[in-house]
Chains A and B, each alone.
Chain A
Amino acid sequence: MSTAVTAITMPKWGLTMTEGKVVRWLKPEGESFVQGEELLEIETSKITNVVEADTDGTLHRIVAPEGTTLPIGALLAVLARKDAAAAEIDEFVAGFVVVESQDGAAEVVETAAPRMLDVGGRRLRYLELGAGAGVPVLLVHGFGADLNSWMFTQPAVSEGRRTIALDLPGHGGSTKDVGTGDAGTFVAVVENALDALGVERVHLVGHSMGGAIAAMVAVQKPEQVASLTLIATAGLGPEINAAFIEGFVRASRRRDAVEVLNLLVHDPALVSRTMVEDVLRYKRIDGVTTALDAIAHTWFAGGRQAYDVLAGVTGLAAPVQVIWGRNDRIVPVAHAEALASRVPVHIVDAAGHLPHMEKAGDVNRLIKGFIES
């Protein structure tokens, strides 16, 4: 248990979050908790998620009552020893400073603004968080996603190390041209991006299609890769939900998009109106449908996965772990189960194809434990 008085503050999830609403406290004031326990639920315009305890402690005082909306960085509660004096807590609350900017939003100490990088004639958007001596982490998103899909993962793993989340070509804020959409293009982009960013050794974390890309990078550059975490990855078997791929590429209206996005998750509540709107806004940009079409055709033609990274993954010298949602409706969890005798496999309950968003606390602990060991 921590001996110091510490704060729980409003987290920043994703690039556009400026404030969040305290939906409810899951622990009453005065109660002790252990690391990983759920403390409170926070709602943003895009998403609702729980905040879990980083360490063991006692929820000494709740500062932000349920229903209040506060800027990121604002004080939500005070954690302290059980026997800490009320005066000590008062002093901490009084001394807590959130720098207010003119529009009322708190200034975060580390402004998380994405940057651009030119690699092989393409402009790539990336977000860098954290610094320190630890081996850096590169996060590679899946088909149709972008760096925002790591909104819960990246802040959690960035303690003591650089973390980089990249928008692959055809996605997010990167150039929309993907050529034929083949894996080689993406692998080259990731390798060149690592070089351009001066990353010599790296922990790779990839989701879905991004998992297969990360695995191929690891196979090609084994000396560079410290570990490989594959989340609901592509490339471990031929099956894939063709209706999802086709539906995602075609959806241009909200109704179709909601139906398709619901396939991604175990709990449809994760698919908020603004999340749907974000996907539609991305898909409306010139060149995106062409890019997604090319990728779908190259990777998943006829509803079968064209790339197989199984032999490569099991032959790696670097440690590999596989994380999957029990209720994945895009890539079957059987692909993970088949690997269980050869690499560590973690099946996360009550999660679909996005366990790193649906069960962020569990997945963050798995990644941190793996890269810190």
Chain B
Amino acid sequence: MPVKTIRQALHEALAQEMRRDPRVVVIGEDVSGGAGTQGGRDAAGGVLGVTKGLITEFGEARVIDTPITESAIMGAAAGAAVTGLRPVAELMFSDFLGVCFDQIFNQAAKFRYMFGGKARTPLVIRTMVGAGRSAAAQHSQSPYHIFTSVPGLKVVVPSNAYDAKGLLIQAIRDDDPVVFCEHKLMYDLRTEVPDEAYTIPFGEANVVRDGDDVTIVALARMVHYAGEAAETLAAEGIECEIIDPRTTSPLDEDTILDSVARTGRLVVVDEATPRCGMATDIAALVADKAFAALRAPVRRVTAPHTPVPFAPSLEKLYIPDPERIAAAVREVHGYAR
């Protein structure tokens, strides 16, 4: 099977869905890019090249470059969705959500409910998350927990190219607004990806690794760090089960609870901030629904409750790493009442 990067997988998902369904349109800042420059139209294809080539194949009516105004992008996309198109709108950096949050939080997310179930809003918002490029506090955040806290939004946080393609196609075919979070350090990550179109259902976690000693729930880039930690720990005789929820809303509670019922020990890893975050949410879920199964306190490995530092040395300390994950696992594994 062909091996593709996350960038290629996302591009393929967009192109295949645009070929299949003429209602699918792409809208955002520089999604084609280059108009008026020496490179010409389509010179950029998105800041990270995901949408490159789409305007050449599908034309200006379906690949729409916008001015730098997130509120207009999201407003236009939400309106287009509720009136019959299936827009894929790009919020270049998720850090910019504040500019357009009314369109997402109070409009797109609420249409179905406010119109008595008669309106559908098949809107996808693609957005970048993640620290690690020294892009400083306003371009490095991972606020998927903010979207997750909004009823009416679905939230996808893929960790590999196979999942990215299947989840993006599912998002485009879904009749509700979906926020699709792409980690900016992971676009070149490769795995086997079928050429055909396929969908991965929302709310179905991926069990990345089997183990009976400790459950690790991790998202996006942290899935890979958890995997590195699990390798180290396996050599010490500690077998970790790694669960990648893939979507934070809906959240596959059963897979997490079933695993904790077996291991009795949980470490949740998230590179976002801890207060009201996914790690805290999942810890609360397990405390609420699987308390009797727990044999040790739940440990969260997250960023601190601070902005993301610009200084590379500090940013490195800010992001959870395999060593911190392994230390947390050792702690819960060795815990005795």
Contact = CB atoms under 8 A, between A and B. Distances in A.
Contact of B197 (A254, A281, A285): A285
A254 B196 CA distance: 21
Interface string A280-309: 010011110000000000000000000000
B204 A253 contact: yes
Nearest to A253: B204
Contacts of B96: none
A286 B210 contact: no
A281 B255 CA distance: 18
B201 A286 contact: no
B21 to A, nearest CB: 12
A258 to B, nearest CB: 11
Contacts of A281: 162, 194, 198
Contacts of A285: 194, 196-198
Given A253-B204, A254-B204, A255-B254, A284 B199 contact: yes
Contact of B166 (A253, A254, A284, A287): A284
Q: How large is the interface on B (under 10, 10 to 19, 20 to 34, 35 or more residues)?
A: 10 to 19
A202 B275 CA distance: 67
Given A255-B254, A273-B210, A286 B196 contact: yes
Contact of A284 (B200, B207, B254): B200
Interface residues of A, number: 11
A286 B198 CA distance: 5
Nearest to B207: A273
A285 B201 CA distance: 12
A6 interface: no
Contacts of B198: 281, 284-286
Interface in A200-252: 252
Nearest to B162: A281
B108 to A, nearest CB: 27
A255 B194 CA distance: 23
Nearest to A176: B196
A36 B50 CA distance: 54
Interface of B is mostly: loop
The interface centre, meaning the residue of B198, B199, B207 with most chain A CB atoms within 10 A of its CB, is: B198
Interface string A175-190: 0100000000000000
The interface centre, meaning the residue of A255, A281, A287 with most chain B CB atoms within 10 A of its CB, is: A281
The interface centre, meaning the residue of B196, B197, B254 with most chain A CB atoms within 10 A of its CB, is: B196
Contacts of B201: 252-253
Contacts of A287: 196
A254 B200 CA distance: 11
Interface string A139-177: 000000000000000000000000000000000000010
Nearest to A288: B198
Contacts of B200: 284
Nearest to B16: A286
A4 to B, nearest CB: 38
Contacts of A252: 201
B197 A286 contact: yes
A252 B254 CA distance: 15
A255 B255 CA distance: 9
A88 to B, nearest CB: 36
A205 to B, nearest CB: 25
A157 B207 CA distance: 35
B288 to A, nearest CB: 21
B56 to A, nearest CB: 24
A125 to B, nearest CB: 11
Interface in B194-232: 194, 196-201, 204, 207, 210
A281 B166 CA distance: 10
B286 to A, nearest CB: 19
A309 B219 CA distance: 52
A255 B207 CA distance: 12
Nearest to A114: B1
Interface in B75-127: none
Interface in B173-197: 194, 196-197
A273 B166 CA distance: 19
Interface in A78-132: none
11 contacts: A176-B196, A252-B201, A253-B204, A254-B255, A255-B254, A281-B162, A284-B166, A284-B198, A285-B194, A285-B198, A286-B197
Given A253-B201, A254-B207, A273-B210, 14 more contacts: A176-B196, A254-B255, A255-B254, A273-B207, A281-B162, A281-B194, A281-B198, A284-B199, A285-B194, A285-B198, A286-B196, A286-B197, A286-B199, A287-B196
A-B pairs with the 10 shortest C-beta distances? A284-B198, A285-B198, A286-B197, A285-B196, A253-B204, A252-B201, A284-B199, A273-B210, A286-B196, A273-B207
